[in-house]
Amino acid sequence: MLVQTLIERKRDGGALEAGEWQSLLSRYLRGEVPDYQMSALLMAILWRGLDDGELTALTEAMLESGSRLDWPGFGVPRVDKHSTGGVGDKVSLVLAPLVASCGVAVPMMSGRGLGHTGGTTDKLESIAGFRTDLTLDEVRAQVREIGVAMFGQSDAIAPADARLYALRDVTGTVPSVPLIAASILSKKRAEGLDGLVLDVKTGSGAFMPDLDSAQTLARTMVRLGEAGGCRTTALITAMDRPLGRAIGNSLELEEALQALTGEGPTDLRELTGRLAVEMLLLAKVADTEQEAQLEVARALASGRALDKFRQLIEAQGGNPGVVDDPGSLPQATEVELFEASEDGVIGAVDPRPLGRAVVEMGGGRRQLGDAIDHSVGFVVTARPGMEVSAGQPVASVFARDPAGIEAGMQALRASIRYGPADPPLPLIVGRVTSADLRHR
């Protein structure tokens, strides 16, 4: 097989066969196919797309490039969630223990911060001692014991995806729906799941802002998940403003703790609840939406969800004391209020400048391996549609030095806009299930 011939076929709009994808990726991992051929192929894929058969074959090839979690004799249904990423999106921190406390096993692999969006493993590491670098054996044992594990991406899982992702990142080949779908599904399918809920973000703070792309991505991933034997549902949700109020690692962890007791910002509670209901339905531990809602409400009100989080922290070496004393999380040394600059109505709160500022203030990475400061970030109470008076505090900046405060204030000025604007997106913009695909 000449790689060049495969590139030419894709370039001319043709399709590669399953065996060709398999052989291509294993040769790439062995160093027999150079990066410069792979990047040309990736650009051709971005141009020409992949048909359903190719997409399944590529995903399988990426999946099979590494290990997977298997669950022999473990009768508990396993369900996970994936989000395409946003600003203030701390849903995973609430959802994993919540759903696990409802009798569903959640082996949740998460990423680090990427671009302007935060990462779940970074947020968890706000907790002193918390280990996210679990081995697959540790994950298996912990999920069997307490029903949940939250861990970082392992080299053992889908190494071909990791190599391709790094290459895509520097060759302008990230925004391809099939490549994104294959990357996500190859990793999630390695968890050995019965069900998967996808939270596909849309709006200015999402990686693919336009709704059309979000819908295409949601449909593509549901089709791909189902083709791999994993029940899959996608919600398309709003990322035209931050989710909840807190942005930044330990600030988001604190807000997640509130949500685990049924408190905290309405949008965070509502989205977490909807995703939890979908997960319970896919796990078949609830038969109807109403039943699932009731179960979720009970888990929150009874303290079971919060207890599960405490158990999780303890199992992964963290200090469970943060659950009852969030003040023990890393605290910023500098805090400053941000006031509305005029009387009027807030038109928009753009997530991107805030997400970027967290990185700039030291709360994210510019380069792989950078240490991060978990304490920095924002609490933003300003929401689109809110009436404000000049001088009214609408946000706080948490930083480690005056330069960080300045960067944060500047980001808030760029983010918060006044005056009439398009109405914000509904929190849940759409839902895609396998049934929707059949009806098309």
Q: Which residues contribute to the site for a copy of itself (CB under 8 A)?
A: 3-4, 7-8, 10-11, 34-44, 46-47, 167, 170-173
User: Is 116 part of the annotated catalytic residue set?
Assistant: no
8 Å CB contact between 377 and 321? no
CB of 358 to a copy of itself, least distance (A): 21
Nearest alpha carbon to residue 244 among 114, 381, 361, 339: 381
The catalytic residue among 80, 122, 161, 350 is 161
Residue spans of alpha helices (H) in 49-176: 52-63, 91-100, 120-124, 136-146, 159-169
CB of 35 to a copy of itself, least distance (A): 4
- Give the list of residues 6+ apart from residue 217 with CB closer than 8 angstroms, or none: 84, 177, 180, 181, 200, 208
The catalytic residue among 78, 81, 82, 201 is 82
Burial of 21: CB neighbours in 10 Å, binned 0-12, 13-18, 19+: buried
Residue number with CB closer to a copy of itself (172 or 391): 172
CB of 425 to a copy of itself, least distance (A): 24
User: Is 231 part of the annotated catalytic residue set?
Assistant: no
Q: DSSP readout, 414-428?
A: HHEEES--PPPPPSE
User: Is 183 part of the annotated catalytic residue set?
Assistant: yes
Residue number with CB closer to a copy of itself (11 or 383): 11
Residue number with CB closer to a copy of itself (49 or 424): 49
Residue number with CB closer to a copy of itself (171 or 381): 171
The catalytic residue among 81, 90, 168, 356 is 168
Nearest alpha carbon to residue 93 among 207, 282, 254, 243: 254
User: Is 168 part of the annotated catalytic residue set?
Assistant: yes
8 Å CB contact between 246 and 291? no
Residue number with CB closer to a copy of itself (166 or 337): 166
Residue number with CB closer to a copy of itself (4 or 290): 4
Token code pair at residue 310: 């405490």
As a whole number of angstroms, the distance between CA 408 and CA 139 comes to 37
In the sheet that 393-399 helps form, which strands lie side by side, from edge to edge? 246-247, 377-380, 393-399, 334-339
CB of 360 to a copy of itself, least distance (A): 17
Residue number with CB closer to a copy of itself (166 or 301): 166
What b/e sequence results for 97-121 when a residue is b if at least 16 CB atoms lie within 10 Å of its CB, and e otherwise? bbbbbbebbbbbbbbbbeebbbbbb
What b/e sequence results for 53-83 when a residue is b if at least 16 CB atoms lie within 10 Å of its CB, and e otherwise? ebbbbbbbbbbbbbebbebeeeebbbbbbbb
User: Is 68 part of the annotated catalytic residue set?
Assistant: no
Nearest alpha carbon to residue 109 among 135, 70, 74, 75: 135
CB of 46 to a copy of itself, least distance (A): 7
As a whole number of angstroms, the distance between CA 419 and CA 70 comes to 54
Report how far apart the first and last C-alpha atoms of the chain are (Å, whole number): 37
CB of 64 to a copy of itself, least distance (A): 24
As a whole number of angstroms, the distance between CA 280 and CA 275 comes to 9
CB of 36 to a copy of itself, least distance (A): 4
CB of 43 to a copy of itself, least distance (A): 4
Residue number with CB closer to a copy of itself (47 or 74): 47
The catalytic residue among 81, 116, 187, 374 is 187
Instruction: Give the residue numbers marked as catalytic.
Output: 82, 161, 168, 183, 187
